[in-house]
Amino acid sequence: MNEIFSKKVVIHYTADNVEQPIICQLVKRYDLVFNILKARIFPRREGVIVLELSGLKENFDKGIRFLKDKGLKVEPLSKSVNQNIDKCVYCGACTAFCPTDALAFDMQTMKVIFDPEKCNGCELCVSACPVRAMEVNLL
């Protein structure tokens, strides 16, 4: 039996491909379902969209290849959200605002642990962090 695969990805558009209806092809050609988590797309300029894509793993892989063949840069969301360990003072303020539990306070080590696979890129942690240790680098 084929299981549904789901992953959050960041797709970077260029000025050349931003006006093409590329995302709808993921539904039509590869039977993928998408949820837009964040988007910054402007006509005739570079843009970025954060999607959660779901479908069969084989279709997901084909869809990602299609996007890359169209000239889009595609990367997992986890590569765009970072915890800057050098800045972090482990106060735990970010954990109270994280809706997906991607940030948790480890009582044994007294440190904030970041799980990028749970992150949805909402950026609440960025504004909650007093020392700006949480960084979202979409562009």
Q: CATH: 1.10.3720.10, 2.102.10.10, 3.30.70.20, 3.90.550.10. Which one for 81-136?
A: 3.30.70.20
Question: Do residues 43 and 18 make contact, with C-beta atoms less than 8 angstroms apart?
Answer: yes
CA angle 78-82-86, nearest 5°?
155
pLDDT value at residue 59: 94
- Which CATH superfamily is 4-78 part of? ACT domain (3.30.70.260)
Amino acid at 76: P
DSSP letter for each residue of 14-81? -TTTTTS--HHHHHHHH--EEEEEEEE--TTS-EEEEEEEEEEHHHHHHHHHHHHHTT-EEEEGGGTE
Identical fold between 4-78 and 81-136: yes
Out of 3-7, 8-12, 101-105, 116-120, pick the least confident.
116-120
The arithmetic mean of pLDDT across residues 33-38, rounded, is: 88
Domain ranges of the chain: 4-78, 81-136
Rg (CA), the chain: 17
pLDDT tier at 90, thresholds 50, 70, 90:
very high
Average pLDDT over residues 4-32: 86
Kindly indicate the confidence band of residue 79, based on its pLDDT and cuts at 50, 70 and 90: low
For all residues of the chain together, what is the average pLDDT? 86
